[in-house]
Chain A
Amino acid sequence: MNHYKLTGHAATNAAVASQKKRSRAASLAGKLWNERYLYLLLLPGLLYFIIYRYVPMLGNVIAFQDFSPFQGFLHSDWVGLKHFKKIFADREVIRVIWNTLYLSFLQIAFAFPVSIALSLMLNEVRGEKYKRIIQSLVYLPHFLSWVVVAGIVTVMLKSEGIVNHYLQAGLGIHAIPFLTSPHWFMPLIVLEVIWKESGWGTIIFLAALAGVNPSLYEAAVVDGASKIRQLWHITLPSIRSTIIILLILRLGSVLDVGFEQIFLMLNPLNKSIGDVLDTYVYYKGIQSSDFSFATAVGLFKSLVGLVLIVGANKLAKKFGEEGIY
Chain B
Amino acid sequence: MVKNHSLLEKLGGVLNVVLLAVVGLLMLFPFYYMIATSFTSAAESATKTFVLFPKRWVFDAYSYIFHSKVFVRSLFVTAGVTVVGSVFSLLLTSMMAYPLSRNITGQRFYLFLVLFTFVFGAGIIPTYMVVKSTHLIDTYWALIIPGAINSFNLIVLRQFFLGIPNDLTEAAVLDGANDLQIFTRIILPLSKPALAAFGLFYAVTSWNTYFNALIYINDPTKWTVQVILRQIVILSQRLDSLSDGQQAAIASASPPGETIGMAAILIATLPILALYPFLQKHFAKGVMLGSVKG
Binding site for B on A (CB under 8 A): 28, 31-32, 35, 37-42, 44-46, 48-49, 51-60, 62, 118, 121-122, 124-126, 130, 133-134, 136-141, 143-148, 150-152, 154-156, 161-162, 165, 169, 195, 199, 203-204, 207, 224, 226-227, 252, 259-260, 263-264, 278, 281-282, 285-286, 291, 294-295, 298-299, 301-302, 305-306, 309-310, 322
Complex-state Cα separation, A93 to B178, whole angstroms: 56
User: 28 A-B contacts, Cβ less than 8 Å apart?
Assistant: A35-B104, A37-B178, A37-B183, A39-B99, A44-B92, A45-B95, A45-B149, A46-B110, A51-B134, A53-B117, A53-B122, A62-B126, A124-B16, A126-B13, A134-B20, A140-B276, A143-B276, A144-B208, A148-B268, A155-B258, A156-B33, A252-B119, A259-B211, A264-B234, A295-B126, A298-B123, A306-B119, A322-B293
Tell yes or no: B180 within 8 A of A by CB. yes
A42-B96, A298-B125 known; A154+B23 contact, CB < 8 A:
no
Check B27–A52 contact: CB distance below 8 A. no
Rank and list the top 5 A-B pairs by shortest CB-CB distance, nearest first.
A45-B96, A59-B126, A56-B122, A298-B123, A145-B208
Within 8 A of A (CB), among B220-234: 226, 229-230, 233-234
Check B23–A134 contact: CB distance below 8 A. yes
Given the complex, which residues of A lie within 8 Å of B268, measured CB to CB?
145, 148
The residue on B at minimum CB distance from A58 is B126
Tell yes or no: B217 within 8 A of A by CB. no
Check B96–A147 contact: CB distance below 8 A. no
A37-B178, A147-B210 known; A155+B127 contact, CB < 8 A:
no
Check A54–B233 contact: CB distance below 8 A. no
Tell yes or no: B145 within 8 A of A by CB. yes
A53-B122, A152-B33, A295-B126 known; A38+B104 contact, CB < 8 A:
yes
Check B261–A151 contact: CB distance below 8 A. yes
Which residue of B50, B210, B279 is within 8 Å of A162 (Cβ)? B50
| Beyond known contacts A52-B130, A299-B123: 15 more, CB 8 A cutoff | A38-B98, A39-B104, A42-B110, A48-B92, A56-B123, A60-B123, A138-B27, A155-B261, A263-B211, A282-B215, A285-B124, A302-B121, A302-B122, A305-B121, A309-B119
Check A156–B30 contact: CB distance below 8 A. yes
Tell yes or no: B244 within 8 A of A by CB. no
Which residue of A45, A147, A155 is within 8 Å of B93 (Cβ)? A45
A121-B19, A148-B268 known; A138+B24 contact, CB < 8 A:
yes
Given the complex, which residues of B lie within 8 Å of A45, measured CB to CB?
92-93, 95-96, 149, 154
Which residue of B12, B113, B134, B226 is within 8 Å of A145 (Cβ)? B226
Residue of A38, A150, A199, A294 contacting most chain B CB atoms (<10 Å): A38
Residue of A137, A207, A252 contacting most chain B CB atoms (<10 Å): A137
Check B287–A203 contact: CB distance below 8 A. yes
Check A59–B234 contact: CB distance below 8 A. no
Check B124–A151 contact: CB distance below 8 A. no
Check A55–B130 contact: CB distance below 8 A. yes
Tell yes or no: B37 within 8 A of A by CB. yes
Tell yes or no: B129 within 8 A of A by CB. yes
Complex-state Cα separation, A54 to B284, whole angstroms: 31
